[in-house]
Amino acid sequence: MKNNTAYAELMAYQRQTEALAKVAERLGWDQETMMPRGGAEQRGEEMAAMEGVLHARRTNPQIAQWLADAEANDDVAASQLYHIDRSYRRFVKVPGDLAQELARVTSVAQGIWAAARAADKVADFLPTLSQVIDLRRQEAACLAEGGDLYDALIDDYEPEATAESLGAMFDRMRPRLVALREAVLGAPTPAGLEGHFAQDAQLRLARDTATAFGYDWSRGRIDLAVHPFSSGGGDDSRITTRVVESDPFNCLYSTIHEVGHSSYELNIDPDYGMSPLGHGVSMGVHESQSRIYENQIGRSAAFTGWIYGQMVERFGPLNVDGPRAFYAAVNRVRPGFIRTEADEVHYNLHIMMRFDLERALIRGDLAVADLEAAWNDRFLADFGVAVDKPSHGVLQDVHWSVGLFGYFPTYSLGNVYAGCLNKAMRAAMPDLDTALARGDTSGATGWLRENLQRHGGLRTPRDTIAHACGFEPSEGPLLDYLEAKFRDLYAL
């Protein structure tokens, strides 16, 4: 018989599981920001122990009984039960010892990757990568139950998505992206920003820019990391960035990107705290927030005009003269090596390459020993530039070291969702640029908070975007935005 007592007991149990998961996440944050390098092996054991506790809680047979008995009196309760049921069905398929070993190996692997990247030695990382891939394939086999292994891993990050649906989206996007790239690269290239920009001054600007985007410093902080990320949620969501003293855009836009992620978590309805609804609903939706903050808002002509004033005030005269030239420097299109520094025209081509490579790795069509050569060949074919060193190639991203196979395509899906959100937001606020030119993002961030962020995991990913936009998501608005922006900027 359905009853409210079972629902209350289940939610109390889930609250404790959520709290323990946040402790584990904080261990991961510490590992990438504060932990001494010598602590890597011990941290791996700590992460494995935490995963053992969490896996036991998430597979407790009592959950199945509570789910059978619980009554959902409204849409919120129904969504809570859906998420708990989905999580339970997933975790019971994976043996506890495999879950613990994955946690241990990926914790240690992150440090091995970072050292190999710093030394530009692929061979130092490949044995560990082979181990990570083997474990993830074992996990995927448990989850897929005879289906596609890569689809099973994608489902961790983007429910409802498959390699087939994502591949079809990429096939529709590629022709317009390539045509736009060729047109832009055939036009005169605007000047890039040059000079020396001290770390302390960059970090002060990054902090002030995060404040301009409404980042809540009473519930967040900023630190340095090899690969920028955000961590946490509820009342504690932290961001990281990195600094290159010859390239302040690296720090600035990494910060804005992570503020988008963190703001999503911090702006979810407090009533959903410490529950399945108290998280971003998927990585694609999460990336829509980081990408719209970074690109459609942060790289807009209006907001870069404000940044230009801040840069001149803090660093003195720049080699690019005036807001329009600065806007062009921020959005300069060139086939660079690094995904996180890629312009908007090239960015999705980076993701398409990684999508194909990691799908081949998981399906066993590409051997780990051949990965570097496959990467370099594909990069040369797609970007027309030969990779000069591993840290500019196969070692640049942290994701594979920590087992995030199936994650990369959500970056492009996030771009697609951001294109839809930008179209709807601009329609709702036709005078938005007037405020952005003053460094006032409150209209944009307020619209995103009200229409998307506060709802957390209440709806499915695509329904979350459709509800916010008032129309079904597709790649069209993103491609239209890119063509309009860069044809104007390059006078095509």
Residues identified as active-site? 258
DSSP state of 192: P
3-state secondary structure of 83: helix
Residue 257, both tokens: 């990107």
CA 335 to each of CA 73, 90, 184, 276: distance values in angstroms, whole numbers, following the listed order: 54, 40, 11, 40
**Farthest CA pair distance, the chain:** 73
How far is residue 66's CA from residue 68's CA, in Å, rounded to a whole number?
5
Q: Which residue has the tokens 């000047």?
A: 191
R_g (Cα) of the chain, nearest Å: 22
Q: Of the candidates 10, 14, 70, which has an alpha carbon nearest to the alpha carbon of residue 276?
A: 14
List Cβ neighbours of 168 (8 Å cut-off, separation of 6 or more): none
How far is residue 280's CA from residue 461's CA, in Å, rounded to a whole number?
9
How far is residue 13's CA from residue 17's CA, in Å, rounded to a whole number?
7
Give the bridge partners for 231, in sequence order: 238
How far is residue 76's CA from residue 272's CA, in Å, rounded to a whole number?
9
How far is residue 119's CA from residue 275's CA, in Å, rounded to a whole number?
42
For the chain, the 3-state helix, strand and coil shares in percent, each to the nearest 5, are 70, 5, 30
How far is residue 113's CA from residue 131's CA, in Å, rounded to a whole number?
13
Between the two ends of the chain, the Cα-to-Cα distance in Å is: 67
3-state secondary structure of 456: coil
* Dihedral of the alpha carbons of 79, 82, 84, 89, in degrees to the nearest 10: -170
List Cβ neighbours of 404 (8 Å cut-off, separation of 6 or more): 157
**Do the beta carbons of residue 393 and residue 375 sit within 8 Å?**
yes
**Do the beta carbons of residue 326 and residue 318 sit within 8 Å?**
yes
Q: Which residue has the tokens 């317009």?
A: 176
Q: Is 346 exposed, middle or buried (0-12, 13-18, 19+ CB in 10 A)?
A: buried
Task: Give phi and psi for 222, each to the nearest 5.
Answer: -125, 135
Q: Which residue has the tokens 């946490």?
A: 232
3-state secondary structure of 386: coil
